[in-house]
Every structure is written in structure tokens, then in C-alpha cells.
Amino acid sequence: MSVRNQKPIIGISIGDVNGIGVEVTLKALMDNRTHKNFTPLIYGHGKALSYYRKALGLEDFNFVQIRSLDEIQYKRVNVINAQEECPEIIPGVETQEAGKLALESLKMAVADLKDEKIQALVTAPLNKSNINSDDFHFVGHTEFLTGAVGAKNSLMFMVAEQLRVGLVTGHIPLAKVAKAVTTQKIKEKANLMLQSLEKDFGIAKPRVAILGLNPHAGEEGLLGEEEAQVIRPAINELKEQGKLVFGPYPSDGFFGMMHQSKFDGILAMYHDQGLIPFKSLAFDNGVNFTAGLPVIRTSPDHGTAYNIAGKGLADEGSMRAAIFLAADIVQHKESLLEEI
């Protein structure tokens, strides 16, 4: 059966089963809209879902266990086991067994994504500590997906309705940021953001604000030279190409005066510069979208939250937003193909 003739399939890699990933996934998929426009497929283990369904009293959540994509049921929540055995579920506890299932579910989902068996992937949070080993180095979902699909570059793009924040540098130590921020990299990331705003979000002539690196955007050289020597040249080159980019702006004043509402996207220089204001403004419904890839991937903007795992306290808003954003982008891309 061709998935092209059916509702889009949105894959969900289950993440760390001892964190809140399973809980927020179940709660998000209890939204009846999931069955109207797309079909959810969870990569993980049926026993893990059954455990949390019972432990959290989510009797209204139902799913069907399948062994392959050939058995997909388009009006149901589908679950496929990423490995034969389910690890012992110990909410709030980091275990190597949970890390192994998280990795296997991610690998299986990415393989199906690359083969176009599913149309998008939502990655539930995992723990980098129990994923990494001497044989496998995992920095983050963004970097893993970028390498897996053979992309030269990608953009970590945090999205919440009209607030969209991208990063020039991602998961690297702060001490290495200044050297990693180059004119070329700023141009690359800005172009990825502009292209994504047009192709993924349907925004014609998007406007992008670019933040400075130093306090007060360098204070005309008193607090750093990167703005004058690295960032402004990138902005000027982009402007010469007709791109609507502006800056560099001091990040504290920019967000403090709510200037984000004037732009379609904001490009931050490093992880915390972009994510602290983003999560302060949109933690409950923020989504991590990987722009610039030939595939669609989103994720909630939070981690495993071991401290509340299994207690029924996790808010599913970000996971729900991640699932629906993935479906919206699939729909938008398909509509563009129909116009060609």
C-alpha cells in the first residue's frame, strides 16, 4: 500500500522511556485531531506505552501494535517495536538499557524517514549521557539528523507561532563560540532561515533580525570586535543580495523591548543567547525544528525531566505543537508540489 495515497504518516521516536517522553506523547496523541489529518507511528516499544497508560490512568489512549509499515492502520495510533525486548521502566532513573532503546528507535525512524516511508519525524527527548559510548558519539538530534541524511548544513530553528529563533552555533562549549562565529557561517545560517521561512512556513519576503555576539553588540568596539569584523560584513553581503536582514542587535535590549514581533525570524549567535529568551517566552508550546534538511524533523523544546517522570505532571503542549508543526509543514510542502 502506498502511503502517498493515504494520510501522511508522522513518525515519533520514543526517546528515553524513563523520562517524560512517553507521557507527553500519549497525552498529545489523545487529541482527536491526530486522526483527521495524519497518522501517528511511534517507534519504541508497546510495553512502554502500556506501562505509562496504566500508571498515569490514561485508559482513553488506544494504539495498535504493528510489525512493519505494511500493517499501518491509518485511523489509529500505531506502535512498532524498535527492538525485541523492552527495558525495565524506572521513571526518573537513567539506565543504559533505556538509552539503547532510545537510540534504536531513533535509528529505525530515521531509516524510514530517509526511505520516505514516513513523511516527517518528531523526536521525543532523550538523554545524551546514556546514548553516548566509546563506539557512538551523539551531540544532539540536530547534528545526528544532519549527518544521517548527508546534508552539508542545517539550522536549529526554535518555533512558537510567530516567534522563530535560529542559531549560528549549536551544541558547542561557550569558550569556542567566538571562533566558531564566522562571516561565512552567519551567511549560511541566515540563508537557511530565509529559505525555510519561505518554503516551510509560506512567508513571502521574510524579515530576519541578526543579533550581536558581545554585550551591547560590541558597543562600537569597546566590548568586542566581532560585530564590526564578522557580523556586519555578513549582513551587508546578504543585503547586497536583496535579502531583508537587519542588525546586529544587542540581544538583551532586542527582546526586552519586544522587537521580535517585528521580524519573521531571529538569528542568534549561540545556544543560550537564543534559547533563554525563546523558552522564557514560549516554553509550553515551543518546537525545535531542523531547517535545511531534505526531510522534516521537529521536537519538543524540553528534555527528559527525570524529576517529574511518571508523576503525571508533564505538560504535553510542546510535544503536541511539535507533532502538529510537522504535519503542517508536510501539508505545505505537498501543496507546493501540487502547484508545480
Q: Which of 105, 141, 181, 187 is nearest to 293 (CA)?
A: 141
SS3 content of the chain, % helix, strand, coil (to 5): 45, 15, 40
Same domain as 133, residue 34 = yes
Mean pLDDT score, 202-218: 94
| Residue 248 identity (one-letter amino acid) | P
Mean pLDDT throughout 182-196? 98
Give me the CATH number covering residue 95.
Answer: 3.40.718.10
pLDDT in tens, 123-144: 999 999 999 887 888 888 988 9
Same domain, yes or no: 104 and 166 = no
Same-domain check for residues 121 and 245:
no
Q: Rounded distance, CA 95 to CA 101, Å? A: 10
Same domain, 197 and 309: no
- Final residue of a domain: which of 265, 291, 317? 291
- Is 258 in the same domain as 321? no
Average pLDDT, the chain: 93
Do 68 and 42 lie in one domain? The reply is: yes
Which whole number is the average pLDDT over 43-60?
96
Residue-level pLDDT at 64: 97
User: Does residue 106 share a domain with residue 158?
Assistant: no
Q: Are residues 138 and 52 in the same domain?
A: yes
The answer to whether the pTM exceeds 0.85 is: yes
136 and 12 in a common domain: yes
Q: Is the pLDDT at 325 greater than 70, yes or no?
A: yes
Same domain, 317 and 273: no
In whole angstroms, give the CA distance from residue 188 to residue 190: 6
pLDDT at 2 over 60: no
Count of structural domains, the chain: 2
Same-domain check for residues 210 and 131: no
- Helical segments of the chain, H only: 21-29, 34-37, 46-55, 96-114, 128-131, 141-148, 177-180, 183-199, 226, 232-240, 251-256, 271-282, 317-339
Domain extent, residue 78, equals: 1-150+293-340
Residue 282 confidence (pLDDT): 92
Instruction: Give the containing element (helix H, strand E) for 74.
Output: none
Element of type H or E holding 138: none
Residue 1 has pLDDT above 60, yes or no: no
Specify whether 188 is located in the same domain as 333.
no
* Per-residue pLDDT reduced to its tens digit, 253-312: 999 999 999 999 999 999 999 999 999 999 889 999 999 999 999 999 999 999 999 999
Q: Note the pLDDT tens digit of each residue in 278-292.
A: 999 998 899 999 999
